[in-house]
Amino acid sequence: MRKQIAAANWKMNCTYQQAESLLADVLNNQVSLKKNQQVIFAVPYPYLIMANSEVAEEENYFVAAQNCYTRKSGAYTGEVSAEMLQSIGIRHCVIGHSERREYFNEDNNMLAEKVNICLEYEITPIFCCGESLAIRDAGTQNDHVEIQLKESLSHLSEVDIQRVVIAYEPIWAIGTGKTASTAQAQEMHAHLRAVLTKKYGSLVSDNISILYGGSVKAGNAAELFSCPDVDGGLVGGASLIAADFISIIKGLK
């Protein structure tokens, strides 16, 4: 059975002290998760070790990095490798967030390499895809995300694709307060699953979690997550407010 996941993407927010108290506020609430549910905190690099030790005793709670580099090691000043993440016990990493695609020129081919290196080091990539407003207005969003998936993931084996979590994040909904409607989210998630089914068959595609991201809030999470092909969310702004993120976790199926 595929996992239902509430993933917090803190982005470049919080001091160390704020990070500690935000995490404590969420964890102290002790939301008990069902077997098929997970909570993941994608935190800035300097907080990974602290956060990972905070969740160590909590079943189904994990910590993710927000990025890693394509290479194993070497003269790449300022970069962080998947091997480094593995060596501190990190088992998840966000890959290809639209902010990285836009501000750091990450393209589909580079992201394929990042997915590969994560899998090599036993790290689950949370692979992000999604279209801009111009693409949505032109009505070509399905083709756009299909190409993103094909160019970054379609080289993976049947076994490896099931080690990936996909996050659909329409760029026009990120940080804008504009959420995709449940119909828009379900339609795209069903399309993504159909693309996966075409290549890998339905036994495989049924097993892959596809998260929705883009202005997920306490007030809309449960409705979005109730869509049959929406398996939880990747949450930015609302994950920085403990009470809101707790409500979002409670909205998981």
Structure tokens at 98: 């639209």
Structure tokens at 64: 């993710």
Least distance to ligand 13P, CB of residue 149, Å = 17
Measured in degrees and rounded to the nearest 5, phi and psi for residue 44 equal: -60, 150
Asked if 238 and 217 touch (Cβ cutoff 8 Å), the reply is: yes
Measured in degrees and rounded to the nearest 5, phi and psi for residue 199 equal: -85, -40
With contacts defined by CB under 6 A, name the span among 26-34, 138-146, 167-175, 243-251 that binds ligand 13P. 167-175
**Cβ-proximal residue to ligand 13P, closest one:** 236
With contacts defined by CB under 6 A, name the span among 13-21, 109-117, 143-151, 208-216 that binds ligand 13P. 208-216
60 — alpha (psi -120 to 50), left (phi > 0) or beta? left
Task: Pick from 92, 97, 101, 136 the residue near ligand 13P by CB under 6 A.
Answer: 97
Sign, CA torsion 204/206/208/212: positive
Task: Pick from 37, 70, 215, 220 the residue near ligand 13P by CB under 6 A.
Answer: 215
Asked if 181 and 144 touch (Cβ cutoff 8 Å), the reply is: no
By CB under 6 A, tell whether 235 contacts ligand 13P. yes
Structure tokens at 133: 């407003």
Task: Pick from 47, 236, 245, 251 the residue near ligand 13P by CB under 6 A.
Answer: 236
Least distance to ligand 13P, CB of residue 95, Å = 12
Q: Which of 54, 131, 146, 169 is catalytic?
A: 169
CA angle 25/94/152 to nearest 5° reads 160
Compose the 38-77 pattern: x for residues touching ligand 13P by CB under 6 A, - for all others.
----------------------------------------
Q: Which residues are catalytic, by number?
A: 97, 169
Binding site for ligand 13P (CB under 6 A): 9, 97, 169, 174-175, 213-216, 234-238
